Structure 1
């Protein structure tokens, strides 16, 4: 079975089976604070093509988008419902739409915003962007509490760019080298187990 067919089947099943949960999340987001249900942001996809990612909104609506692009610790912009969604990773379920549309995969390097992709080393950029970005990957599991890690840094932005991002890229490159359907299944299981724990 091809990776794309695997993604299409599971994302379709996920959207159908989880439809009641997705509707409840959407309602909770809407009732909790003014603004749209989804947070849409430009990310860099396969072969460097930009796309707009779906996430359930977890922060106060900021139409101008002037806030920082990384979340650090107990960010004041996070709403009450948003805090729960982030802790349980339920905000990421909206990306099943992106997988179904074909801009993302269930498993693959997490898509970054253009400003951080511009800082990828040339030797890693083409490799990491040669596959569709994913909802989960090895780095997502290892950095599940990334905002808490950055909150302990004196300069969170510097720590992200010079410490966290290089490690994430190394893990992403490793995934590309080893990519297989069986590896994807194992990472999906590990992700679910990490969320349950």
Structure 2
């Protein structure tokens, strides 16, 4: 009998075992200048703006739905979150959907002494946390969880604690928003480790 290895606690090992079995379709983003088509829905995806929305060198692309996958604050303060919400209110997208990242301490009841309810802070977008919404017939699900990294927001131990969150994802989801990357795609850190959401 072969001893089984829990690859959910070893993303580097998981990649070595699974890389030959994964099928990935690369989606090339449209150039920012591409006109919006009446018979299509354009999703604009962004994350890790870290209070830099006032300093962006390029305007946000045109689109129908804005998806922000977390880390809109830097220190996780209420004022940073409120400024982000104000920025969201200035954007012309018909729908705006936001999840938290590991910097949004103010929204995480387990890492903040006085957390604020997200619905009070993010009023200019739909905030998702282990929940979904539907726009233009597409079901969008958001989960902010990441593997433990220092003392940050929405961090869980690799293995069963994270698997418990991933089991909540419905099978009929069209768009999955997470703060971290999938295995083998954008997850390689400068140290050579994989920071995947296992």
Same-fold call, TM cutoff 0.5: no
Q: Bin the TM-score by the shorter chain.
A: under 0.3
Which structure has the greater CA radius of gyration?
2
Would you tell me which structure has more strand in proportion to its own residues? Answer: 2
What TM-score, normalized by structure 1, do the two folds share? Answer: 0.25
Higher relative contact order (CA 8 A, sep 6+): 1
What TM-score, normalized by structure 2, do the two folds share? Answer: 0.25
Would you tell me which structure has more helix in proportion to its own residues? Answer: 1
